[in-house]
Amino acid sequence: MLPPFFENHDIDAIESQLSQADRIADGGAAMVAYGTLQFLNMSDIERTAVNKALLQYCELDTLAMVMVIEAWRDMLGL
């Protein structure tokens, strides 16, 4: 459900390991992307794209957790 994070940029022009992946789709990828932001030199375009993708991933992950809690509350009649 998540859009590619290099959607509005020419991927070939971005020189980075991140250009090989087009979205953050799981927790492992999110951890790698976050670590990459901390320790890898990258252009402002790359940094902005990865930051946006992380925020989108976290938003969707948080929504999923809220939905689980709501389902549990519904099942328990709370």
pTM: 0.65
DSSP state of 42: -
| Binned average pLDDT, 10 residues per bin, the chain of 78 residues | 62 48 80 86 87 92 95 93
Angle between helices 44-76 and 27-39 (to 10 degrees): 150
Task: Kindly write down the DSSP assignment for every residue of 5-18, as one continuous string.
Answer: TTTTS-GGG--SGG
Q: What is the pLDDT of residue 19?
A: 46
DSSP state of 2: P
- Helical H segments across 1-78, by residue range: 27-39, 44-76
66's tokens: 């809220």
